[in-house]
Amino acid sequence: MTESHGAPQRAEIPRVFIGYDPRERVAVNVLADSIQVTSSVPVLISQVRHEQLLGVYHRSHDAKQSTAFSFSRFLVPWLSGFWGWALFMDADMLCLGDMAELWALRDERFAVQVVKHRHDCEEGTKFQGMPQTPYARKNWSSVMLFNCSRCTALTPDYVNTATGLELHQFRWLADEAIGELPPEWNVLVGVQPVPREPKVLHYTLGGPWFDDCLGMAESGRWHEARSAMNHPIATAPLRLNQPPLECLAVGRSSAP
């Protein structure tokens, strides 16, 4: 928070949009929780869900897309009113870093900032038999820090009609408008070595919420995060002469 003439000025709160796929509902919720528990600042989190975009997103399913949000992710600047900054993240991720650190990397020189992977893969399949398609700039779009006012090309009409490569290879932007994020903010599990202190783990080949990916590397960290969400709350010991909770409830209900 900054100050001007002695009055505090409101800082822009990080906005995060997570791609939603019905098969990855648990992954979406674990990711959202991992963002919140590691952040030192408030974070606004939304999901890119097709049932909430009726009349806006009507693109036909592409045989090469592996998730429901393969293309609808590019609606994030429009959903943000082409204002301020917003972050998109794939559902199959786990956040281990402080979102305030990533938010501090915003650079007005760029329209979007990404981790510029060199992910060379062979055509085939990955989780749940989904297609694995090689193309230049693969996985750049899995974490995108949008400078929304500079992404006005991404209208619903364009996102509904552009080719997959036009979207994912950022052909809607000049190359010099694509900034770079540090690689630890999008670590491809099972594809590249995991650094000592990753900020975001990306289970791009499939996460342990799928029955055919139970042995995926770094599964333990994801299971720990899920378990932490469901940890039972310990009951506080009853103080001496304190009536049981059910008695307090009865007393309240019978009060005039």
Q: What pLDDT digit, counting tens, does each position of 36-77 carry?
A: 999 999 999 999 999 999 999 999 888 777 799 999 999 999
Answer yes or no: is pLDDT of 83 > 80: yes
DSSP 7: E
Q: Which of 84-93, 133-142, 154-163, 166-175 bottoms out in mean pLDDT, i.e. has the lowest?
A: 133-142
Identify which of 85, 90, 77 has the alpha carbon closest to the alpha carbon of residue 30: 90
Q: Is residue 1 part of a domain?
A: no
β-sheet bridge partners, residue 2: 9
Q: Is residue 58 part of a domain?
A: yes
Q: Is residue 204 part of a domain?
A: yes
The bridge status of strand 124-125 relative to strand 15-19 is unpaired
**Residue 255: band (very low, low, confident or very high) from pLDDT cuts 50, 70, 90:** very low
Q: What is the pLDDT of residues 236-245, one digit of tens each?
A: 665 656 555 5
Q: Is residue 5 part of a domain?
A: no
pTM of this prediction? 0.83
Q: Which domain holds residue 246?
A: 11-253
The tokens of 164 are what?
A: 């997959």
| 153-to-72, 150, 166, 170 alpha-carbon distances in Å | 14, 8, 12, 11
Angle at 230 between CA 41 and CA 93, to 5 degrees: 55
CATH value at residue 179: 3.90.550.10
**Residue 172: band (very low, low, confident or very high) from pLDDT cuts 50, 70, 90:** very high
Integer Cα distance of 69 and 62 in angstroms: 11
| CB of 189 closer than 8 Å to CB of 205 | yes
Identify which of 45, 49, 57, 141 has the alpha carbon closest to the alpha carbon of residue 86: 45
Q: Is residue 2 part of a domain?
A: no
**Which long-range contacts does 129-135 make (Cβ < 8 Å, 24+ apart)?**
130/66, 130/67, 131/63, 131/64, 131/65, 131/66, 132/66, 133/64, 135/165, 135/168, 135/169
Q: Is residue 6 part of a domain?
A: no
How many structural domains does the chain have?
1
